[in-house]
Structure 1
Amino acid sequence: MQWDERIGRRLRLRDLHTLQVISETGSMAKAAGRLAVSQPAISKAVANLEHTLGVPVLDRTPRGVEVTAYGRALLRHAAVVFDDLRQGIAEIQFLRDPTQGELRIGAPEPITQVLSVIINDALAATPNIRFQVMVGDTAVLFEALRERQLDVALTRIPERRTEDDLETEVLFQDPLVVAAGTHNSWARQRRVSLADLVDQPWVLPPADTVLGRFGAEIFRARGLEPPRASVVTPSLQLRLSLMSSGPHLSLLPKAMLRFSSVQPAIAAIRLELPETERPVGLVRVKGRSMSPVLGTFVEQARKATSRIGANATS
């Protein structure tokens, strides 16, 4: 059978979607429940796929079903197909009404302060755009991009990049700062070294996060042991709360504090960490077309972050 006959006449999107749901649930019965169809209908969809492709896409085991290597290969490419179709439908809707659309964005929690400014600017320009925002570590966001769960991520870009399948647009350069509550005496000191702060109370992200690993390297580069944090938490909100209401110090991206209205109770300690400067930018899947809605967001992101650059040099 020719390739075009298999694809054009026999391979159905509904069957591909059914296989996706089976893979996610690990059970044909659960897939039937999620899709609100009978279990025989699920079995028929799988049989159609296997007959068309001539290979098994599922292994039946006593614990349920598992997707075979053939099925996994099909699902990887099916994700791209469904993503392109979703983008096509979104573009049609945008052409019908340029004021509407949906965008899925990801950002690490510290960068959400900047993201909120960009979203507000984008909504001012096109108030009917709908945003879905995923908050997570940079590595999690990169995987979500690959799986087409996100359209774009706004994040610090790692110094050593191996993601050949992703493309980036740098918006601004941003170092880390040691931050404290504005009431903290360290925030008023004119000259401070990192060695002065090692024994202070710290609230830090977990060591297995990008910021946690990076923070430890900052101390070791100066011949210092990383501080033994009194509180370790992935919650940015808790870190900010502990700083603003108590003696704790933490590491934050400087961009968070460049919008004075964002964190009025938090200040950067006068301590330069030039080696921590990293580009912050937009990351997308390479070769993926840019929807009109994403184009609007990118334009607003450039405008908003140009103000950060201006603040950095003033």
Structure 2
Amino acid sequence: MSYSNTTYFSNPSHFILLGIPGLEAAHVWISIPFCAMYTITLLGNFTILFIVKMEPSLHEPMYYFLCMLAITDLVLSTSTIPKMLSIFWFNSREIGFNACLTQLYFIHSSSVIESGIFVAMAFDRYVAICHPLRHSTILNNHMVAKIGLAAVLRGGILTLPYPFLARHWPYCRTNIIPYTQCEHMDVVRLACADIRVSSYYGLFVLICRIGLDVFLIAVSYIQILRDIFRLPTKEARLKTFGTCTSHICVILTLYVPTLFASLTARFGYNIPLHVYILIGNIYLLVPPMLNPIIYGVRTKQIRDRLLRLVIQKGT
């Protein structure tokens, strides 16, 4: 099959994902860390789900939100990495038009849902620290379920126009996508039409996802820090702040790569293509892998339960 970029057509039946142009000879080697990260992602997130399910003491709002985060990470990574690996291992570059739009939707909706879960987790930390006596009353199971449903609906509805807009545009130049996966702007740039509607809407979603959510998280932590600094001793302040460190770490692993990748997609015209693709893959690969590791290492209850499981299997 020829991958010439001069192919003309009106309605593409498929797209061609090139992987990482310029590094084709290294695809097999690149696949090794990608495969390792995906394996760690699967093991880590399924372990979190199993531990929270099996340990009654973890049936609390923070760990319910953590389970939602684990499921979202599994969806995000599974919607992208298997196709990447098939490109690297088997040179399987073709992806159907509808499959491409489906992948596009799950990538962006999962990212927005994950961001919403981080807002919910920040709210949980705010209530736990600033209103500890009312925590179980404010964040009961019914409220946690409603917050989780709201995060899922927001992510699903906010990104629903992406595939519909992408399907609406005519494609008459090329069906070649020089990347490892289908993402919104990468797909609509192939259209032979004015795509400003897609571009502006994508920017709007980015503002909602990063701007609004980061603002809400910042407001929560300003209130948290205000109450922490009112504590009488340094030890009490450090102990209380320590309950927030896992959440802060996973927030940084999500928003920093996402913001960098989004800005380079719009303004990084002088960045080499293979560097841009690798940067773009960071926010798809790294946060789902690091989230369960961070919570597993930083959260004593999860760490202790995991150690008990290991010891029981060893005896």
| Structure 1 length-normalised TM | 0.26
Say which structure is richer in strand: 1
Whichever of the two has the greater Rg, that structure is 1
Q: Which has the higher contact order (CA 8 A, sep 6+)?
A: 2
Say which structure is richer in helix: 2
